[in-house]
């Protein structure tokens, strides 16, 4: 199985935040979800992949090469930003005229089809579009040059539930072509529960894990039980604990170990990605 | 279409609105200044060209639009080069604008100074020179700082347009140099040309270095 993205030991420091030795791969033909709380470094990582932010250390390979050395590779990438970066005073038609010459595989028919699907008029100006509509336009552009890799930064933010689901279905259809790969950053983990094959979880500029979604959900376990079960040794088993008046729920990173300790005395459940993110970020600090 | 041409076309699309809004203003300034400055018609080659460059750069720094250019499959050095090269079509547009306006005004009976080729040359050469001062500042200061640079350049250009005759007269020897048709000698022309080209090349290299290392 080949990788379309390889990130090796990437570091980058900002005033209040830094990426520290980030390392992961994105497999060809799959949807990879990049999750983490706000400020975890997801957007920065996607900008690094797009060569918009230059890392201070490490290596970034897209399709086996560096975008800095070969920016022409961006023809094979569809980028969807969390912020609108198209010119506000331009109409969609003029934006299309501006963008199309840069892509050999630009497909006007596909672009028109996506605009119709997303109910966007070419006569509209970017500044008159809602946030969700701008995101739809951005998607239409990304999909209209037949990109092999879609890099999407919070694409579902600002979308209504109906279109969010349609978008996820659309991405599901896109990925049926085994040559296509999608990286999808979000803090709305429900979206990834539905479509992701692989999950990269980032927190405070570090990768917590990078694995297939199924393996992650099999490895972690939610434990729910009475507070009398919690002593210092037991607490060590958990990544994070949420304690209430009548009991606790906690996330354990090793299902076998948790089953050994709690079988028969506590309830064990498969966590959601949101559970994993929440408890990992909060650690032992969560209280009701 | 080569990517350089596509980038210049993008800049033209961004700045063409200026032509719609700037033409009435230019017309007014044109009528007011044609008699008072030795540059006459030629000056109006410089003004639209610089305004179009500034307008396209201003569009790029609004919101996070500079990311748009960087998201395209082109090298950053091409993005910088396109800003420098775009002054050439902008000069042509300015020249066409000045020519049409001067013909119209002559027909309407305005007394327009005869076209002086040295003056026209200086007017044209002013554009890359000004752009070479402006662009490194634009790339150095980034989106926030460049807004101030743009404001300063807009003011300088507007002020300069209205008072160029006085400015030229105030600098000793400048007026006679510009209007003196005597041959300066080949050596001086070559030296001047070399300094001019080196200045633009140095400006491009500084801009390139600034932009290629910038996080967006």
Q: What is the per-residue pLDDT for B75?
A: 94
Q: What are phi and psi of A57, to 5 degrees?
A: -155, 160
| Whether A86 contacts chain B with CB within 8 A | yes
Contact B3 A53 (CB under 8 A): no
A181 vs B166, residue with greater confidence: A181
**The tokens of B28 are what?**
């007014």
Contact A52 B59 (CB under 8 A): no
User: To the nearest whole angstrom, how far is the Cα of B114 from the nearest Cα of chain A?
Assistant: 40
In whole angstroms, what is the distance from residue B71 CA to residue A46 CA? 12
Q: What is the per-residue pLDDT for A187?
A: 80
What is chain B's Cα-based Rg? 18
Q: What is the per-residue pLDDT for B103?
A: 78
pLDDT greater than 70 at residue A176 = yes
User: To the nearest whole angstrom, how far is the Cα of A32 from the nearest Cα of chain B?
Assistant: 21
Regions of chain B short of the pLDDT cut 50 = none
Superfamily of domain A3-215: P-loop containing nucleotide triphosphate hydrolases (3.40.50.300)
| Whether B9 contacts chain A with CB within 8 A | yes
Q: What is the total count of domains within chain B?
A: 1
pLDDT tens for each residue of B121-158:
877 888 899 899 999 999 998 877 877 888 888 788 77
pLDDT tens for each residue of A86-135:
999 899 999 999 999 999 999 999 999 999 988 999 999 999 998 888 88
- Cβ atoms within 10 Å, residue B187: 8
Domain, as residue range, for B132: 2-213
SS3 track for A105-132: CCCHHHHHHHHHHCCCCCCCEHHHCCHH
Which residues, including other chains, have CB under 8 Å from residue B1's CB and lie 6 or more apart?
A101, B9
**Which of B56, B59, B65, B73 is the best substitution to test chain A (most A C-beta atoms within 10 A)?**
B73
Contact residues, chain B, for A73 at CB < 8 Å = 73
Beta bridge partners of A8: A59
Tell me what the pLDDT averaged over chain A comes to. 89
Mean predicted confidence (pLDDT) in A188-210:
88
Q: What is the per-residue pLDDT for B43?
A: 67
> How high is the ipTM of this complex?
0.85
Contact residues, chain B, for A102 at CB < 8 Å = 3, 6, 72-74
Contact A85 B1 (CB under 8 A): no
């Amino acid at each position: 199985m080949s990788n379309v993205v390889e990130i090796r030991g990437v570091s980058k420091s900002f005033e209040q935040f830094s990426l520290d030795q980030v390392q992961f791969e994105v497999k060809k033909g799959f949807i990879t979800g990049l999750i983490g709380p706000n400020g975890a470094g997801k957007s920065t990582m996607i900008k690094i992949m797009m060569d918009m932010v230059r890392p201070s250390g490490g290596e970034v390979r897209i399709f086996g090469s560096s975008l800095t050395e070969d920016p022409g590779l961006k023809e094979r990438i569809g980028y969807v930003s969390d912020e609108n970066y198209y010119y506000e005073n331009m109409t969609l038609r003029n934006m299309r005229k501006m963008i199309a010459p840069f892509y050999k595989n630009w497909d006007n028919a596909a672009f028109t089809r996506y605009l119709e699907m997303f109910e966007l008029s070419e006569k509209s100006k970017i500044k008159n579009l809602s946030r969700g509509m701008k995101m739809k336009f951005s998607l239409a552009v990304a999909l209209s040059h037949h990109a092999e890799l879609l890099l999407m930064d919070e694409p579902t933010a600002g979308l209504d539930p109906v279109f969010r689901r349609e978008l996820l279905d659309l991405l599901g259809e896109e990925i049926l072509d085994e040559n296509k790969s999608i990286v999808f950053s979000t803090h709305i983990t429900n979206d990834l529960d539905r479509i992701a094959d692989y999950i990269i979880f980032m927190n405070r500029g570090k990768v917590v894990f990078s694995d297939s979604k199924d393996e992650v959900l099999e490895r972690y376990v939610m434990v729910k039980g009475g507070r009398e079960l919690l002593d210092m040794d037991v607490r060590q088993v958990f990544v994070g604990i949420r304690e209430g008046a009548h009991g606790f729920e906690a996330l354990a990173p090793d299902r076998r170990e948790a089953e050994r300790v709690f079988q028969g005395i506590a309830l064990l459940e498969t966590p959601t990605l949101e559970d994993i993110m929440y408890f990992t970020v909060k650690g032992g600090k969560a209280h009701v | 279409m080569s990517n350089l041409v596509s980038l210049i076309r993008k800049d033209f699309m961004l700045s063409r609105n200026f032509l719609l809004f700037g033409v009435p203003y230019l017309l007014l300034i044109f009528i007011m200044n044609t008699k008072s400055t030795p540059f006459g018609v030629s000056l109006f080659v410089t003004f639209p060209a610089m305004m179009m460059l500034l307008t396209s750069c201003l569009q790029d720094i609004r919101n996070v639009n500079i990311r748009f250019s960087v998201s395209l499959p082109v090298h950053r050095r091409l993005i910088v080069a396109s800003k420098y090269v775009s002054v050439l079509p902008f000069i042509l547009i300015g020249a066409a604008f000045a020519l049409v306006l001067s013909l119209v005004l002559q027909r309407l009976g305005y007394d327009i100074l005869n076209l002086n080729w040295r003056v026209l040359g200086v007017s044209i050469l002013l554009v890359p020179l000004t752009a070479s001062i402006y662009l490194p500042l634009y790339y150095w200061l980034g989106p926030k700082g460049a807004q101030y640079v743009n404001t300063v350049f807009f003011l300088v250009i507007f002020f300069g347009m209205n008072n160029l005759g006085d400015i030229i007269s105030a600098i000793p020897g400048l007026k006679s140099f510009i209007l003196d048709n005597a041959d300066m000698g080949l050596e001086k022309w070559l030296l001047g040309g070399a300094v001019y080209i080196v200045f633009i090349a140095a400006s491009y290299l500084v801009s390139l270095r600034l932009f290629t290392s910038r996080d967006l």
